[in-house]
Amino acid sequence: MSDDNEQNLLNYKLQLQQVEAALELDKDNAELLALKTELDEIIGLTLQLLGRDPSEAVEVGEAFGWKVGDHCSALWARDRQYYPAVITEVRRDGTCFVSFAHLPSGSHAEQCQVSLLKPLADGAKPGADVHGSESGAASLTAQGSNAQAAKKRRREERTKALEAKMRKVAKRAEREKEMEAVVEQEKKSWQSFSKKIKKQGRIGKSIFATPGPDNPKGRVGVGTCGIAGKGMTPFAAPQYRPPGASGGGAGGSGAGYHHHQYPPSTTN
């Protein structure tokens, strides 16, 4: 049960490292921040379950006496068996990277818990596999000597990724600033133009407005048929004359009837 908890603790710490690496590129990501908080709590509870102080010193590697280049027997996560390996990196969070002798040369180093490392069995050689055969000794020695170079390379890659992210953010901020400057300049130009027009008195009501108390000389047809600027055509309403009314002669013969006649109203 203790080994299971140790393996779970390792998995939680691996996840936490991935989240922290992602936060280096996006520090304000709410989901990543919430996940980091949750993983911190789970790791603390797991440490308590293992009977270890959650606030224990982070220099776990030194506490167990392991350092980069040491040969050891490490737990392989795939089959949970111990194999000879060499330590390529020790981290402050209690984990380390090891290269297994039974894996092909050039394989990626795998992460495991420092507390689970064991010294090599008596008589076992650094390059021996689980069956005791000698294989990969030269590879382990080379990997141990190149551990610092590999660590430096990973650190440089993280630094480059962070710098690229910072350049991208700075470029976006500069572009937004330029856009704000253009908008502000256009705003000032329009305000200046508006003030100039008002000073010249060139803003008024339309000359085509319907005639009214404030505009009795509304004009229509401006610019067409040579009648530009003329007033509206006068219109005389017809007068009503009842049937039989005299047009001016005696006798009322109706000879002078007006052209417009209207039928009598049928309204009661």
Residue-wise pLDDT tens digits, 211-251:
555 555 555 545 555 565 566 677 777 777 777 665 544 44
Low-confidence ranges of the chain (pLDDT < 50): 57-61, 123, 125-138, 140-141, 221, 248-258
The confidence score (pLDDT) of residue 105 equals 64
Bridge partners (DSSP) listed for residue 134: 128
- Residues 93 and 115: their CA atoms lie apart, in Å, by 11
The confidence score (pLDDT) of residue 128 equals 43
The confidence score (pLDDT) of residue 178 equals 85
The confidence score (pLDDT) of residue 96 equals 85
Residue whose tokens read 């470029």: 171
Q: Quick check: pTM over 0.75?
A: no
CA dihedral 106, 111, 112, 115 (to 10 degrees): 100
- Residues 181 and 184: their CA atoms lie apart, in Å, by 5
